[in-house]
Structure 1
Amino acid sequence: MASISSTRPLSFEIVGEPLTIKGFATTRWRVADLAPGDVGPCRLNLQLYMTERAAYRFNLTSHTPRLFVRAGEAGEAPSPEAITASQEVAAGWLDGEHRVLEVDMPLAIQAWLEAYLAHHGEAPAESRKKQHKGAGRAREAES
């Protein structure tokens, strides 16, 4: 089987839409015109990692597979820095107080991600920790 690349260039635009919430003006930022290639105003490489295979499968089997763009610090003008197909990675970015923008995953990227998983195999099932007798239960009071 031919080797499957783990990197794809993506291009897109970050668009600001004025919004008023409870009388306060703000801007809602979104990713627009995301497509494979490197011809748009914003360009990032989507890098796949073997350790994230379970997260990729979870994303692909969701109702709407998504990509996540880390776009700088929350509260500042968006500045695209990284892109991922892993919701776990995106959650880590949010915990670090970064702005994360979501966008529908193009079908071409879904197909590439499926090929990557087919080539490298699904992530091994997470092994459950063995519970020791009585673990997780309140100890019975001795009389």
Structure 2
Amino acid sequence: MSSISSSRSLSFDVAGESLAIKGFTTTRWGIIDLSPGHAGPLTLNLQLYMTERAAYRFNLTSATPRLFVQAGEAGARPTPTAISASQDVAAGWLDGEHRVLEADMPLAIQAWIEAYLAHHGEAPAEGRKKKRKGAGRAREIEA
């Protein structure tokens, strides 16, 4: 059985668009020209992790699968430092007060993640745990 790589290089650029909102001007930043390989001005490695398989599946089954780029703090030009296919990881970045930019996931990356999931298996279902009858209740102890 051939081994499926858990890391891929992605190249892209970051572009800003000026917006005027209620008299204030701001810049909305976005990822452009995202593609596999080292062709663009910025390159990050997308690393897949076994513990994130459920998040990858959730992303792939959404209407538009996305990639998430950690891009420094708000108020300055984005400085991309990491990329993920997991919304859970992106949410953690946001909780840490990092800027997160999103981009549509290229079909080649979708196929690669599908192959990764097929090779390593889907994440185990986290079903509800049944409580044993009487579990969690104090019991009278007879002497």
Could you tell me the TM-score, scaled by structure 2's length?
0.90
The match for 2:90 is 90
Q: 1:38, CA displacement in angstroms?
A: 1.0
1:73 aligned onto 2:73: yes
1:63 aligned onto 2:63: yes
The match for 2:54 is 54
RMSD: 1.5
1 CA distance for matches of 2:131 and 2:97?
A: 35
C-alpha distance after superposition, 1:18-38 (max 9, x if no partner)? 111111001000000000001
**How many corresponding residue pairs?**
135
Which structure 2 residue ranges, 5 or more long, are not aligned? 136-143
Q: 1:134, CA displacement in angstroms?
A: 8.7
The match for 1:12 is 12
Which structure 1 residue ranges, 5 or more long, are not aligned? 136-143
**Percent sequence identity over matched residues?**
78
Matching of residues 1-143 of structure 1 within 5 Å: 1-131=1-131
Give, as a single letter, the amino acid of the residue that structure 2 aligns with 1:27. Answer: T
1 CA distance for matches of 2:104 and 2:9?
A: 16
Q: 1:133, CA displacement in angstroms?
A: 6.0
2 CA distance for matches of 1:127 and 1:75?
A: 42
